[in-house]
A and B are shown apart, each in its own frame.
Chain A
Amino acid sequence: MDLLSNLATGFGIALSPYTLMLAVFGCFIGTIIGALPGLGPSNGVAILIPLTFSLGLDATSALVLMTAVYYGAMYGGRISSILLNIPGDEPALMTTLDGYPMAKAGRAGDALIISGFASFTGAFLSTVGLMLLAPLLARIAFQFGPAEYFALYILAFATLGGIASNNQAKAAIASCIGLGIAMIGVDNNSGMPRLTFGNMHLFDGIDFLVAIVGLFAITEVFSFIESHGKNTSIGITLDKLKVPWRDIWNTRWVQLRGSLVGFIAGILPGAGASLGSFLAYMSEKSIAGEKGGFGTGVAKGVAAPEAGNNAAAGGALVPMLTLGVPGSGTTAVLLALLMTLNITPGPTLFTDRPEVVWGLIASLLIANFVLLAMNVPMVKVFVRVLSVPAWVLLPGVTMISFVGIYSLSGSYFDLLLMVAFGVLGWVLRKLDVPTVPIILGILLGGHMEDSLRRAMVLSDGDWTYLFSSKIAIGLWAVAIAGFVAPLFLRKFLKKPQAVSD
């Protein structure tokens, strides 16, 4: 009954009025962030991290607030997908396929409510899964030595490059950019500066928050200037709101299967929520067959991706908390948060700081109910948010990013770096180079090198040590398969494009 007593500890923390208030506040902000086109979970959370620090929250409170924002953004992403045909974030792309046709057919309210319920099912089940699976995985993770960790990092980059992007070579370049940036600064082992080119500002290395906010938020501003805000057409208005119980009941198996598929996809390091919603949608589409009418605006078509997407969000927390390897772009941002809070994720987190882990899990369970309440009866409030025009939103986001990064160090150099990352992000986006591997590289580069060097110290320079245990060999095998297999599967697994008007 370890689990129950742990949960009791967790709820003890989560139900304190202050933490509860943070969770509700986080859910609210998160749903808004998710709903706003151009602000997804990753850049939303990234912008808020520096501001969270200035509030002076302790580790548990900061974590509760930000994961509530994270879950909220996952819920909110569907709102603009359905009403505007613009995914609020990448995983919500699949929701546009049936959500927008449904809205055009006058069933916008139904689509929002069905997808809200599906989000709840996915997020709730995956939080339960996280609760059951994470302690087990943490126990296995105790057997991980430096060789296994090195293989695990390789696995994360390989699956991210192989599964979640269109071109392996470009994903590999992105990973190398991130890893290369992580090397800048004073070397931990020898105490010698590396690749700083004598610039004093670079001796501490490049703060990952600067890179994240630059690559996500500032890049978005450039993209909007490029498109002149054309993507912000006024979509479909919502008048009556009635809960379509029958559709929700009819999609129950779709929601459950979607949750399972999404959860598994989320656990894979590097694969993440986009893969979760994609696989959930595609598998339901093939189960339903031609008669299912997927893509024409059916309830199952909005329930499946939303269940998958939110389940993946919970699943992605499993490797992040137990191994310190994030499963998606946003969990990479959450990992950045943990690292700035001086919490080292990994198996020891569960034994040393149980209050953080279980407080977080309990808050997520509570946040789910709060989000269900916000996203079903109160969804009209968030629909209003969509009418904020891009020419107010984007300058606002830019200024908040600047102030957030400025409050970290008070140096103009970080601001310049952030703009540079924004430009880099825009060019890379044009060239279809994914930016999430860059973030992952910056976050994990130091750990990856450390584990390699420690492995070599242990083996006295014998490289075969990297493949000396069963776990390590297994991880290498999955890594290679994850990188190579999509080359052959690409023909069958083509991402459907968004429907056009």
Chain B
Amino acid sequence: MVSDRIFGAVVAVVALAYIASANQIQTSFLADPVGPKMFPMMIGAGAFIAGIFVILRPDGDPDWPVLSTIGALLIAVVVLVAYAYALKPFGFILPTAVASAILSYQIFPKIGQAVLVGAGLSIGLFMLFKFALGLGLVAFPSALFG
């Protein structure tokens, strides 16, 4: 109930913001009868109405995970974001080994296994991508190996 009401309210507010920013779209002199604003505003209106519906007629609450699980999910998100930033400057193998080891540990918490998964995946996938698929991946940071 509560989850859905919050969700509906968020959707309605975002929809209004969307309509407002669609209203700011500049029209050019090459205007057609509809123009570039109309369709985005229709979408916003549709989302607003649907959001209100969800507020008025919410479904039952889902089982939200306990606090520690939410923490684990946040760590996973942070790891993935860091991985996205690290992929270019640090090459493929190192960030992949670390990121996949952490993810593996989070799914099944055993350190030894996780380290093996990290090492295996990073080297195995690198071989696959580099030699079987011919992707131009860089294995290690260029600063280390010139």
Given contacts A169-B54, A176-B15, A194-B36, contact A412 B88 (CB under 8 A): yes
Expressed in whole angstroms, the minimum distance between the Cβ of A389 and any Cβ of chain B is 7
Interface presence of A423 (CB below 8 A): yes
Q: Is the CB of B40 within 8 A of A54?
A: no
Q: Is the CB of B39 within 8 A of A453?
A: yes
Q: Is the CB of B76 within 8 A of A221?
A: yes
| Interface residues on chain B, number (Cβ under 8 Å) | 72
Classify the interface of chain A: helix, strand, loop or mixed: helix
Q: Is the CB of B39 within 8 A of A195?
A: no
Interface presence of B26 (CB below 8 A): yes
Supply 19 further A-B pairs (C-beta < 8 A) apart from A172-B47, A399-B99, A461-B34: A55-B133, A169-B51, A169-B53, A173-B51, A190-B30, A218-B80, A225-B103, A391-B104, A392-B117, A392-B120, A398-B103, A399-B96, A400-B125, A402-B83, A402-B84, A403-B92, A416-B81, A418-B84, A457-B33
Given contacts A192-B25, A400-B125, A456-B32, contact A431 B40 (CB under 8 A): no
CB contact between B87 and one of A167, A412, A423 (< 8 Å): that residue: A412
Within 8 A of A (CB), among B48-106: 49-51, 53-54, 57, 59, 62, 64-65, 69, 72-73, 76-77, 80-81, 83-85, 87-88, 92, 96, 99-101, 103-106
Q: Is the CB of B108 within 8 A of A228?
A: yes
Expressed in whole angstroms, the minimum distance between the Cβ of B78 and any Cβ of chain A is 10
Q: Is the CB of B100 within 8 A of A389?
A: no
Classify the interface of chain B: helix, strand, loop or mixed: helix
Q: Is the CB of B7 within 8 A of A192?
A: no
Q: How far is the CA of A399 from the CA of B129 in the complex (A)?
A: 11
Q: Is the CB of A194 within 8 A of B25?
A: yes
Interface presence of A90 (CB below 8 A): no
Q: Is the CB of B76 within 8 A of A222?
A: yes
In the complex, chain B residues whose CB is within 8 Å of the CB of A225: 69, 72-73, 76, 103, 106-107
Q: How far is the CA of A394 from the CA of B46 in the complex (A)?
A: 36
Mind listing 13 A-B residue pairs with CB under 8 Å? A180-B40, A183-B22, A187-B36, A192-B36, A225-B76, A225-B107, A410-B88, A418-B84, A422-B80, A423-B77, A430-B3, A430-B64, A432-B59
Within 8 A of B (CB), among A411-462: 412, 415-416, 418-419, 422-423, 426, 430-433, 448-449, 452-453, 456-457, 460-461
In the complex, chain B residues whose CB is within 8 Å of the CB of A460: 33
In the complex, chain B residues whose CB is within 8 Å of the CB of A172: 46-47, 49-50, 53
Q: How far is the CA of A394 from the CA of B135 in the complex (A)?
A: 22
Within 8 A of B (CB), among A394-412: 394-396, 398-400, 402-403, 406-407, 410, 412
CB contact between B40 and one of A177, A183, A221, A410 (< 8 Å): that residue: A183
Q: Is the CB of B113 within 8 A of A406?
A: no
In the complex, chain A residues whose CB is within 8 Å of the CB of B3: 430-431
Expressed in whole angstroms, the minimum distance between the Cβ of B142 and any Cβ of chain A is 15
Given contacts A170-B54, A224-B107, A431-B7, contact A415 B84 (CB under 8 A): yes
Q: Is the CB of B27 within 8 A of A192?
A: yes
Interface presence of A496 (CB below 8 A): no
Interface residues, chain A, with chain B CB atoms under 8 Å away = 51, 54-55, 166-167, 169-170, 172-173, 175-177, 179-180, 183, 187, 189-192, 194-195, 197, 218, 221-222, 224-226, 228-229, 389-392, 394-396, 398-400, 402-403, 406-407, 410, 412, 415-416, 418-419, 422-423, 426, 430-433, 448-449, 452-453, 456-457, 460-461
In the complex, chain A residues whose CB is within 8 Å of the CB of B106: 225
Interface presence of B121 (CB below 8 A): yes
Interface presence of B140 (CB below 8 A): no
Q: Is the CB of A192 within 8 A of B62?
A: no
Q: How far is the CA of A267 from the CA of B25 in the complex (A)?
A: 38
In the complex, chain B residues whose CB is within 8 Å of the CB of A402: 83-84, 87
Interface presence of B144 (CB below 8 A): no
Q: How far is the CA of A396 from the CA of B104 in the complex (A)?
A: 9
CB contact between A167 and one of B59, B62, B117, B122 (< 8 Å): that residue: B59
Q: How far is the CA of A358 from the CA of B34 in the complex (A)?
A: 39
In the complex, chain A residues whose CB is within 8 Å of the CB of B120: 392
Q: Is the CB of A195 within 8 A of B40?
A: yes
Expressed in whole angstroms, the minimum distance between the Cβ of B32 and any Cβ of chain A is 5
Interface presence of B134 (CB below 8 A): yes
In the complex, chain B residues whose CB is within 8 Å of the CB of A422: 80
The residue of chain B having its C-beta at the shortest distance from the C-beta of A161 within the complex is: B50
The residue of chain A having its C-beta at the shortest distance from the C-beta of B4 within the complex is: A431
Q: How far is the CA of A179 from the CA of B41 in the complex (A)?
A: 11
Q: Is the CB of A176 within 8 A of B62?
A: no
In the complex, chain A residues whose CB is within 8 Å of the CB of B135: 54, 403, 407
Return the 6 tightest CB-CB contacts between A and B, nearest first. Answer: A415-B84, A461-B33, A176-B47, A395-B100, A391-B108, A169-B53
* Residue picked from B34, B107, B125, most chain A C-beta under 10 Å: B107
The residue of chain B having its C-beta at the shortest distance from the C-beta of A398 within the complex is: B103
In the complex, chain B residues whose CB is within 8 Å of the CB of A457: 32-33
Q: How far is the CA of A430 from the CA of B120 in the complex (A)?
A: 32
* Residue picked from B25, B27, B43, B85, most chain A C-beta under 10 Å: B43
Q: Is the CB of B47 within 8 A of A180?
A: yes
The residue of chain A having its C-beta at the shortest distance from the C-beta of B100 within the complex is: A395
* Residue picked from B26, B36, B81, most chain A C-beta under 10 Å: B36
Given contacts A225-B73, A228-B107, A457-B33, contact A416 B65 (CB under 8 A): no
Q: Is the CB of A173 within 8 A of B50?
A: yes
In the complex, chain B residues whose CB is within 8 Å of the CB of A448: 39
Q: How far is the CA of A399 from the CA of B98 in the complex (A)?
A: 11
Q: Is the CB of A412 within 8 A of B62?
A: no
Q: Is the CB of B107 within 8 A of A195?
A: no
* Residue picked from B7, B18, B31, B134, most chain A C-beta under 10 Å: B7
Q: How far is the CA of A29 from the CA of B133 in the complex (A)?
A: 15
